[in-house]
């Protein structure tokens, strides 16, 4: 089984347990804590992946680190990963958990690239229009890219809407070349 598939299955099991216990918000906070630990501490990440460190030692360290700081469900889940020698998948499991959670809550992550930052009013209008078009909640990330000249490019999942001036000029040039031929 590939690591991504395994991470997906573990994340799916975790989210199912969290929903079954009506603890999705609490488990999400725990997952964010684990994400922060894994992201900010290279030593923690290397410790988890190390085949040299014995399972029992990993369990002791994780117990000291997490006991009382995360929910019982999350704590048992992390120890299960260690018992199954799958703790190295934690970063992938976290990403899959976020994706599954957003999917179940009807949230789409949208990136918009624009030459200039939108005003608050423009951003709210864009979110409103995207929510109407997708019938989902929108989590918007704006990337300012001055090379775009103007307009914007919206990307979510495998969809791209290119309303940039650069793209419009490319289309115009293509039409001129086709008409000249």
Model pLDDT, residue 44: 84
Q: Are residues 117 and 46 in the same domain?
A: no
- Domain holding 173, by residue range, is 107-180
Model pLDDT, residue 115: 84
Provide the edge-to-edge strand list for the sheet that holds 159-164: 137-144, 107-114, 151-156, 159-164
Average pLDDT for consecutive 10-residue bins of the chain (181 residues)? 88 95 95 89 85 91 92 94 92 94 93 90 93 93 83 86 81 82 65
Q: Are residues 95 and 142 in the same domain?
A: no
Model pLDDT, residue 38: 83
Write down which residue in 44, 77, 103 finishes a domain: 103
DSSP label of 89: G
Q: Are residues 70 and 36 in the same domain?
A: yes
Distance CA 70, CA 59 (A): 15
Model pLDDT, residue 1: 55
Model pLDDT, residue 18: 95
CATH number at residue 91: 1.10.520.20
Distance CA 118, CA 100 (A): 29
Helix (H, G, I), strand (E, B) or coil at 53: coil
Distance CA 125, CA 133 (A): 12
Model pLDDT, residue 151: 82
Name the nearest CA neighbour of 156 among 122, 121, 109. Answer: 109
Q: Are residues 132 and 97 in the same domain?
A: no
For 32-48, give one letter per residue: b (16+ CB within 10 A) or e.
eebbeeeeeeeebbebb
Q: Are residues 83 and 155 in the same domain?
A: no
Write down which residue in 44, 69, 103 finishes a domain: 103
Q: Are residues 92 and 12 in the same domain?
A: yes
Model pLDDT, residue 170: 82
Model pLDDT, residue 176: 83
Distance CA 176, CA 3 (A): 49
Model pLDDT, residue 46: 86
Model pLDDT, residue 181: 65
Helix (H, G, I), strand (E, B) or coil at 140: strand
Q: Are residues 80 and 116 in the same domain?
A: no
């Amino acid at each position: 089984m590939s690591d991504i598939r395994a991470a997906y299955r573990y994340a799916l099991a975790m989210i199912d347990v969290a929903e079954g216990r009506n603890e999705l918000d609490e488990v999400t906070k725990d997952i964010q804590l684990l994400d922060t630990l894994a992201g900010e501490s290279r030593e923690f990440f290397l410790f988890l992946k190390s085949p040299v460190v014995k399972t029992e030692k990993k369990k002791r360290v994780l117990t000291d680190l997490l006991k009382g700081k995360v929910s019982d469900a999350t704590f048992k889940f992390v120890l299960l990963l260690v018992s199954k020698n799958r703790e190295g998948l934690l970063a992938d499991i976290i990403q899959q958990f976020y994706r599954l959670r957003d999917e179940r809550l009807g949230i789409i992550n949208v990136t918009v690239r624009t030459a200039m930052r939108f005003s608050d009013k423009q951003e709210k209008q864009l979110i409103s229009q995207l929510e109407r078009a997708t019938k989902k909640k929108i989590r918007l990330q704006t990337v300012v890219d001055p090379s775009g000249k103007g307009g914007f490019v919206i990307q979510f999942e495998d969809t791209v809407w290119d309303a940039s001036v650069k793209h419009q000029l490319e289309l115009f040039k293509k039409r001129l070349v086709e008409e000249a031929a």
